[in-house]
Amino acid sequence: MKALSVRGDYVMDMISGRKKVEYRSWKTNYRGSILMCSTTKKIAGAAPGYALCIMNLDRIIWSDFDQCYYWYISLKNVIEPINVKGQLKLFNVKDELIKPISHMEFDQKVKPLIYYPKRRKTK
Each residue's pLDDT, cut to its tens digit, for the chain (123 residues) gives 999 999 999 999 999 999 999 999 999 999 999 999 999 999 999 999 999 999 999 999 999 999 999 999 999 999 999 999 999 999 999 999 999 999 999 999 999 999 998 877 776
Residue 68 lies in a domain: yes
Domain holding 29, by residue range, is 2-113
Q: b or e along 79-94 (b: 16 or more beta carbons within 10 Å of the residue's beta carbon)? A: bbbbebebeeeebebe
Residue 45's CATH number: 2.30.130.30
Give the total number of structural domains in the chain. 1
Is 119 within a domain? no
Would you say residue 52 lies in a domain? yes
Task: Answer yes or no: is 118 within a domain.
Answer: no
